[in-house]
Amino acid sequence: MAPTRLAPARPAPARSGRPVVPGRAPTRYGRGGRPLRRRRPGPARLAALGLAVAAAVVVVPAVRDAVGGCDQDPALPAAAVDAAARIGVDAGLRVGVAVVDTATGACLVAGDQDGEFATASVVKVMVAARLLTEGALTGETEALARAMVSLSDDAAANVLWERAGGPDLEPWIEEHYDLPELGSPNGITGRWGNTHVTPLGLARLYAALRADPVVWPWLGAALHDVRARAADGTDQGFGLQSVAPGAAVKQGWANGSADDAGDAVVNSTGLLAGDRYVVVLLTEGDGNVSGCDGRGFHAGQAAVVTAMAQQLVPSLAG
């Protein structure tokens, strides 16, 4: 395995009118300079193309720290982050793992480090953040948002997605929090779960939300109030929720949100240890959507995400 790559740390000056994202300097280029989405083919796709499946296909890139202005911090568990990513890759999944220490700004990322993943229901965090920022989370809207986040209620998300800008939501979040590496809008019309994020981009968004006094009091409480079962009856006790009960967690799962409709999506994201550490676990299957139940949940893939969380979370202090 290649050695960990380090980059010099950079200061993170405040930017007028925007929350400071811990551990990163503001970027000076716009959305037009953002790289295109990358989706690395898994073994099944290569086989379908008649190509040899080389060992490199399943090799997890070395964990990177100090990426894009993150401070270097040997206290962060690089070996555990790498091991968590390997669990997913060994199970045939495309994975992205990221950790951000909101106290120091240090970060780690492993797996498909720069690739974009479908958010599934994790995008509901963005919906709530915009509505909170615009002072729109009152009355019926607040009740819908609470169900959308804590119960992962899709019917509520269908309503609030449009109120939060629909396909313009991701660009708005990206601009508001100065996160050009966040991801890209949904490419499937009407499918909010097809919104795309990079592992580190999403982790940095959580760090920014944690630092936002307008957003976090409500959003943090809703994330800490994640329910055992979603509105559709799905057991939300996988991934981070299974190993860190009481943490601020947003789960995501779907059978139609990936760019390739044949790939199941299972994500587990949030903040642990008194909201100090952001942990992002993103996974997409490889032609495995037939394993999903009627609610779009792939229990086998969720079990892998739980194993990834079990590998990583105990190594985080607190």
pLDDT tens-digit profile, the chain (318 residues)? 333 333 333 333 333 344 444 444 333 333 344 434 444 444 444 333 232 222 223 345 556 554 445 666 888 999 999 999 999 999 999 999 999 999 999 999 999 999 999 999 999 999 999 999 999 999 999 999 999 999 999 999 999 999 999 999 999 999 999 999 999 999 999 999 999 999 999 999 999 999 999 999 999 999 999 999 999 999 999 999 999 999 999 999 999 999 999 999 999 999 999 999 999 999 999 999 999 999 999 999 999 999 999 999 999 965
Q: Is residue 245 part of a domain?
A: yes
The CATH number assigned to the domain holding 67 equals 3.40.710.10
Number of H helices, E strands in the chain: 10, 9
Q: Is residue 236 part of a domain?
A: yes
Q: Which helix (H) or strand (E) holds 87?
A: helix 78-90
Cα distance between residue 37 and residue 116, in whole Å: 6
Q: Is residue 15 part of a domain?
A: no
To the nearest 10°, report the CA torsion of 191, 292, 265, 279: 130
Q: Is residue 54 part of a domain?
A: no
User: Which pLDDT does position 317 carry in this prediction?
Assistant: 65
Q: Is residue 5 part of a domain?
A: no
- 255, with CB counted inside 10 A (0-12, 13-18, 19+), is buried
Q: Give me the number of domains the chain comprises.
A: 1
Closest CA to 192 of 157, 222, 219, 163: 157
Three-class secondary structure of residue 130 per DSSP: helix
Residue 80, CA distances (Å) to 73, 185, 213, 315 in order: 14, 31, 32, 7
Per-residue tokens: 258: 């990936």
Q: Is residue 39 part of a domain?
A: no
Residues 254, 260 contacting (CB under 8 angstroms): no
Strands ordered across the beta sheet of 183-184: 117-118, 196-197, 183-184
Q: How many CB atoms lie within 10 A of CB 225?
A: 14
- Domain of 149 in residue numbering reads as 62-315
Q: Is residue 48 part of a domain?
A: no
Cα distance between residue 123 and residue 127, in whole Å: 7
Residue 223, CA distances (Å) to 29, 92, 98, 99, 148 in order: 32, 30, 19, 18, 10
Q: Is residue 55 part of a domain?
A: no
User: Which pLDDT does position 31 carry in this prediction?
Assistant: 36
